[in-house]
Amino acid sequence: VKSADNSAAVRGSVKKILIVDDSETIRQSVASALEAAGFQVMQACDGLEGIERIQAERPAMVILDVNMPRLNGLDMLERLDVKSMKLPVLLLTTEVQPSMIARAKQAGARGWMVKPVKLDQLVEAIKKIVD
Amino acid sequence: MSMQDGRTILETLIQSSTVDLFHASGIAVAPLPESRLRSDQLPCHELRAVISFSARGFSGSLGLLVPAAVFALVRQPPTRTFGGEEWVRESANQLLGRIKARLLQFQVTLQLGLPQLLTPAALEKLGAQGLLGVYAFRTLRGEVIVTLSGKIDYSVLRYAGKCQIASEGDIIVF
């Protein structure tokens, strides 16, 4: 999945957000809203690609799906030491199972969002975390 | 819980989840009587996806069939677009996610598979195998179909009261 650079981001001060989701529908919808809010957006379509992009691009924040092929979001989260990396991660998923939410919290996630979310609320939540 | 009660509950969950799913995309849908369609008479709508599920007493798949004309009503993001096949896959995922959330209060925790596109041949095979349920929904641009196949032991549904769980649209900051 190619990243979508916008011109403001290339100039320097714009924060990079990585969206990791196997659904193009979600990636495109969230990316559109974040770009409109001035963020630079990168995309990955599963957990393995997500780890690669984090290591290569050092995003300011990650939006992460749970159910994905190859490596799911919770397993990806547990492979990364996001607390010591000081990398905020928000899960964006249809899952509402309390045990999954607890697992994400234990692994250092900053929040859990249940699809579908209103994009303006999502952008506000992201701004509060990265600013 | 009797088989009939369990079946009625599951049908209600499927119908209400489907109405909510399309409402979130800005599309009004209305459930039609289940008996209108037979398993071997499924319409081959252009957009088709299926997602598997399993739990104690539950094993099967949920199908979502949508005419392209209905997808044309879906709001696209202003600066990017997505295609109908990607949308129907994600919609099947979100539909089963909603059903899973509602089943938690009946002490059933579904494990979800990954959504996949359904070929015409696979759709025909699905119908020929016999379905547990075929649910039709009327829209202004044609009928949306939801199918349920597999094996379900309705006796495992036990109402445990309203659970304190996250809801659709919730943002929980830790």
| pLDDT greater than 70 at residue B164 | no
Percent of chain B with pLDDT over 70: 97
Q: What is the mean pLDDT of chain B?
A: 91
Cβ contacts of B42 within 8 Å, gap of 6 or more: B65, B123, B126, B127, B134, B145, B147
Residues of A in contact with B79 (CB under 8 A): 32, 35-36
Please state, in angstroms and rounded to a whole number, the distance separating the CA atoms of residues A46 and A18: 12
Give the pLDDT confidence score for residue A7 in this predicted structure: 42
Put simply, the chain A residues between 44 and 83 with a CB less than 8 A from any chain B CB are 67-69
| pLDDT greater than 60 at residue B162 | yes
Contact yes or no for A36 and B86 at CB 8 A: no
User: Is cis: bond before A116, omega within 30 of 0?
Assistant: yes
Average pLDDT over residues B144-172: 88
pTM for this one? 0.91
User: Does A96 lie at the interface with B, CB-CB under 8 angstroms?
Assistant: yes
Between chain A and chain B, the number of residue pairs with CB atoms below 8 A apart is: 105
Q: H helices of chain A, where?
A: 7-11, 24-36, 47-57, 73-79, 82-85, 98-106, 119-130
Residues of A in contact with B81 (CB under 8 A): 28
Give the pLDDT confidence score for residue A49 in this predicted structure: 98
Please say whether the beta carbons of A93 and A71 come within 8 A.
Answer: no
Contact yes or no for A28 and B167 at CB 8 A: no
pLDDT in tens, chain A (131 residues): 444 444 444 445 799 999 999 999 999 999 999 999 999 999 999 999 999 999 999 999 999 999 999 999 999 999 999 989 999 999 999 999 999 999 999 999 999 999 988 999 999 999 999 98
Contact yes or no for A117 and B169 at CB 8 A: yes
Please state, in angstroms and rounded to a whole number, the distance separating the CA atoms of residues A101 and A106: 9
Please say whether the beta carbons of B58 and B156 come within 8 A.
Answer: yes
User: Does A93 lie at the interface with B, CB-CB under 8 angstroms?
Assistant: yes
User: Does B35 lie at the interface with A, CB-CB under 8 angstroms?
Assistant: no
User: Does A31 lie at the interface with B, CB-CB under 8 angstroms?
Assistant: yes
Q: Which residue of B has its CA nearest to A95?
A: B97
| pLDDT greater than 90 at residue B117 | yes
Give the pLDDT confidence score for residue A11 in this predicted structure: 46
Look at B21 and B78; give whichever has higher pLDDT.
B21
- HSE-CB of B93 using CA atoms within 13 angstroms: 28
Confidence category of residue B34, pLDDT binned at 50, 70, 90:
low
Look at B86 and A8; give whichever has higher pLDDT.
B86
Confidence category of residue B39, pLDDT binned at 50, 70, 90:
confident
| pLDDT greater than 60 at residue B29 | yes
Please state, in angstroms and rounded to a whole number, the distance separating the CA atoms of residues B134 and B29: 15
Please state, in angstroms and rounded to a whole number, the distance separating the CA atoms of residues A19 and A63: 5
Give the pLDDT confidence score for residue B36 in this predicted structure: 67
Contact yes or no for B174 and A23 at CB 8 A: no
Contact yes or no for A97 and B104 at CB 8 A: yes
User: Does A97 lie at the interface with B, CB-CB under 8 angstroms?
Assistant: yes
Model ipTM value: 0.88
Give the pLDDT confidence score for residue B38 in this predicted structure: 76
Give the pLDDT confidence score for residue B40 in this predicted structure: 77
DSSP assignment letter at B61: E
Cβ contacts of B35 within 8 Å, gap of 6 or more: none
Residues in chain A: 131
User: Does A113 lie at the interface with B, CB-CB under 8 angstroms?
Assistant: yes
